[in-house]
């Protein structure tokens, strides 16, 4: 199996550093896409921009030629991400997700003449907020995908394959009250901020009854504009997470009841709207995980299998439709917090780049294996998109 060349690894690390130093938020990742496209085009690859109607989505293809007249041909997909977090920047390491999947595509491209089906690199924007992969699913971009492969940096110091993940849904909760002078006529007002505070107290009490893997967390985004005015409007945004759709759906209903209770207590109104679309739990495909784990083993890595990741990703939505697996690779030797300044700095270290490049070679080799092994493709298709990870409960 071909390896990345020294010039390629240098270009990939430079790409990672450039994306890391220039963070862009969801759906705005224009410079990141320009940099990725420039690297691919220097290698002779065509880059299709605006895939699925998203300005910052793209696709590159190797293998049997694509024909626009016959619809989308079957392909193994490698999914790159490159959006950043507000204020923290690349505290989730999407600069590394970008280069590990771009690198995997370059590995597969070196075997282009052997491929029986295509291998495609798909750039997926807005994983942190908005759900770019959900947009691409709705646009039909994954309709002919045979398998989906991707990656994610790990803050806990371990390698992993076939990890599962929590589903998440985001809700915006807006309370409406009545403004009044907080000093001379507080009794004439209805305090929307009080409603938000009582809502948070209710959520804190509810946590005692939640499943151990479930999560609910939020921030106040509007608590009023002046200390001497009873707030007529207050708002919070929340994420709710759970391992199964059934649990998450029940949590959403209970969440809504607590919000209505806070409004009743304070004489205010409440409106609940979507803040983040439904990110489905990740359902890893065991057969695909076997292939990736074997390729990592060839490179000297023995990953854990089937570990629950208590974070969420729109890769989960892809995994409900397409056989999917991902590599989680360490960027630190000791555990640190994800989505933090420490994680941001860890995601641009030599260790992070070394492991991202190992991941690239393993994913590229796995993509080639699927694209050249008819029997394996038949097994993936017969098993459906929801093959269980070997150690899932």
**256-293 as b/e, with b when 16 or more CB fall inside 10 Å?**
eebbeebbeebebebeeeebbbbbbbbbbbbbbbbbbb
Q: How far apart are CA 57 and CA 94, in angstroms?
A: 15
Using CB atoms within 10 A of its CB, is residue 70 exposed (0-12), middle (13-18) or buried (19+)? exposed
Given this model, what pLDDT does residue 72 score? 62
Among 106-110, 210-214, 249-253, the least confident range: 210-214
Question: Does the pLDDT value for residue 378 go beyond 90?
Answer: yes
Q: What is the CATH number of domain 167-279?
A: 3.30.70.360
pLDDT above 60: residue 12:
yes
Matching fold, domains 6-165+281-383 and 167-279: no
Domain residue ranges in the chain:
6-165+281-383, 167-279
Tell me, which fold does domain 6-165+281-383 have in CATH? Aminopeptidase (3.40.630)
Average pLDDT value over all residues in the chain: 94
- Which phi and psi angles does 230 have, rounded to 5°? -60, 120
Q: Is the pLDDT score of 390 beyond 90?
A: no
The pTM assigned to this predicted structure is 0.89
pLDDT digits (tens, 9 = 90+) for 34-75: 999 999 999 999 999 999 999 999 999 999 976 555 566 799
State yes or no: pLDDT of 392 exceeds 70: no
pLDDT, tens digit (0-9, with 9 covering 90-100), for 318-340: 999 999 999 999 999 999 999 99
- pLDDT band of 389, cuts 50, 70, 90: very low
pLDDT of 385 > 50? The answer is no
Percent of the chain with pLDDT over 70: 95
In this predicted structure, the answer to whether residue 221 has a pLDDT above a threshold of 60 is yes
Pairing of strands 75-80, 145-154: parallel
CB 282 within 8 A of CB 377: no
What is the pLDDT at residue 135?
Answer: 97
Closest CA to 229 of 271, 267, 178, 266: 178
H-state helical runs in the chain: 6-21, 30-42, 94-109, 132-138, 192-206, 245-266, 286-298, 315-319, 341-346, 350-372, 374-383
> What's the pLDDT band for 211 if we cut at 50, 70, 90?
confident
pLDDT digits (tens, 9 = 90+) for 113-146: 999 999 999 999 999 999 999 999 999 999 999 9
User: Is the predicted pLDDT of residue 391 greater than 70, yes or no?
Assistant: no
Residue 378 CB: number of other CB atoms within 10 A? 10
């Amino acid at each position: 199996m071909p390896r990345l060349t020294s010039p390629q690894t240098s270009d990939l690390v430079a790409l990672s550093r450039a994306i890391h130093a220039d963070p862009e938020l969801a759906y705005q990742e224009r410079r990141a896409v320009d940099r990725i496209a420039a690297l691919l085009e220097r290698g002779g690859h065509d880059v299709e921009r605006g895939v699925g109607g998203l300005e910052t989505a793209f696709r590159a293809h190797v293998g049997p030629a694509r024909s626009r007249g016959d619809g989308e041909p079957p392909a193994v997909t490698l999914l790159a991400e490159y959006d950043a977090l507000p204020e923290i920047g690349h505290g989730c390491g999407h600069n590394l997700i970008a280069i590990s999947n771009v690198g995997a595509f370059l590995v597969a491209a070196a075997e282009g003449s052997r491929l029986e089906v295509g291998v495609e690199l798909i750039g997926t924007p807005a994983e942190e907020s908005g759900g770019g992969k959900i947009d691409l699913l709705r646009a039909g971009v994954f309709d002919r995908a045979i398998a989906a492969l991707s990656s994610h940096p790990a803050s806990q110091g371990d390698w992993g394959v076939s990890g599962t993940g929590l589903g998440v849904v985001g809700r915006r909760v807006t309370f409406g009250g009545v403004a009044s002078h907080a000093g001379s006529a507080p009794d004439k007002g209805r305090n929307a901020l009080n409603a938000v505070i009582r809502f948070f107290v209710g959520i804190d009490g509810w946590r005692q009854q939640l499943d151990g893997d479930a999560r609910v967390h939020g921030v106040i985004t509007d608590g009023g504009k002046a200390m001497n005015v009873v707030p007529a409007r207050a708002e919070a945004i929340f994420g709710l997470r759970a391992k199964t759709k059934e649990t998450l759906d029940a949590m959403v209903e209970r969440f809504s009841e607590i919000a209505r209770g806070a409004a009743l207590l304070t004489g205010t109104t409440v409106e609940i709207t979507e803040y983040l679309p439904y990110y489905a739990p990740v359902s890893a495909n065991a057969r695909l995980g076997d292939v990736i784990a074997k390729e990592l083993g060839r490179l000297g890595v023995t990953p854990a299998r089937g570990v629950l990741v208590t974070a969420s990703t729109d890769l989960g939505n892809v995994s409900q439709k397409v056989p999917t697996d991902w590599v989680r690779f360490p960027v630190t030797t000791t555990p640190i917090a994800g989505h933090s300044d420490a994680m941001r700095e860890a995601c641009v270290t030599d260790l992070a780049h070394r492991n991202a490049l190992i991941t690239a070679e393993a994913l590229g080799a796995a993509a080639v294996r699927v694209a050249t092994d008819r029997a394996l493709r038949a097994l993936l298709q017969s098993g459906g998109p929801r093959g269980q990870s070997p150690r899932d409960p």
